[in-house]
């Protein structure tokens, strides 16, 4: 099941609303900023009927709770890497972070400094130029493993069937693992993807290299030493 790749993001005092673009019939994802509840709707909430989108996004990366409260993380920019089996592969090139609670006045001065520090660490991590994803192809599994899977496996959402060892935003998406969210969840891997067209003796072929770092091999020591 493919994931929505182009969406309008609406921002209201009490809701985040995500609307897929270019879809004749689609669901809207509504996130309550007060209760943190997540639900799918068949129509746009009435209070947003005449409101212009806050911005366009290309994926939902999840949500995280820090000292100030919950934050929604969305993908805003991507770079085309190449095609595998007719499916596009992308690299994450931009993101945005939206607080559920817009004010941090409930925090002490020490907590505000700590919360800002956590946000900076989050931004620094997401700015790593090695996060990759696809809206229609599972890059968490090897091609050999995918070829051995039953047809019903391929009908599952990308997050549902993903190898959790290589989904680096799995924790961020844990509250979005619902049936009505499955076309909005965008799993990402950390690693390297290279897709190249080669011509040898008049014969043309494409070779692809994908490396994936396990979420269980994170940290300064392992990053310095390598995969």
| Segments making up each domain of the chain, as ranges | 7-190
The percentage of residues in the chain with a pLDDT greater than 90, rounded to a whole number, is 67
At residue 139, the pLDDT reads 96
At residue 155, the pLDDT reads 83
Give mean pLDDT, residues 217-221: 75
Sheet holding 203-212, edge to edge: 59-66, 69-84, 87-99, 131-133, 189-200, 203-212
Query: 52: burial class by Cβ within 10 Å (0-12, 13-18, 19+)?
Result: exposed
Confidence of residue 227 (pLDDT cuts 50, 70, 90): low
**pLDDT tens column, 47-103:** 777 778 889 999 999 999 999 999 999 999 999 999 999 999 999 999 999 999 988
**pLDDT tens column, 90-115:** 999 999 999 999 888 999 999 999 99
**Cα–Cα dist 29/37, whole Å:** 11
């Amino acid at each position: 099941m493919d994931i929505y790749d182009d969406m309008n993001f609406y921002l209201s005092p009490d809701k985040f609303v995500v609307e897929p673009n270019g879809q004749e019939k689609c669901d809207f994802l509504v996130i309550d900023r007060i209760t943190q509840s997540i639900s799918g709707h068949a129509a746009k909430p009435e209070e947003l009927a005449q409101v212009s989108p806050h911005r366009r996004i290309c994926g939902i990366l999840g949500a995280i709770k820090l000292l100030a409260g919950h934050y929604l993380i969305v993908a805003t920019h991507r770079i085309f890497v190449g095609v595998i089996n007719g499916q596009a592969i992308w690299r994450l090139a931009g993101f945005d972070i939206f607080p559920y609670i817009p004010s941090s006045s409930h925090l002490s001065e020490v907590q505000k400094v700590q919360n800002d520090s956590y946000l900076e660490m989050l931004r620094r991590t997401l700015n790593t130029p090695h996060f990759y994803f696809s809206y229609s192809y599972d890059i968490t599994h090897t091609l050999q493993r995918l070829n051995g899977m039953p047809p019903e496996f391929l009908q599952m959402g990308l997050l549902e069937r993903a190898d959790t060892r290589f989904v680096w935003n799995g924790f961020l998406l844990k509250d979005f693992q619902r049936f009505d969210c499955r076309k909005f969840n965008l799993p990402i891997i950390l690693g390297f993807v290279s897709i190249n067209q080669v011509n040898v003796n008049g014969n043309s072929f494409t070779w692809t290299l994908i490396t994936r770092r396990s979420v269980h091999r994170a940290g300064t020591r392992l990053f310095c030493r390598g995969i």
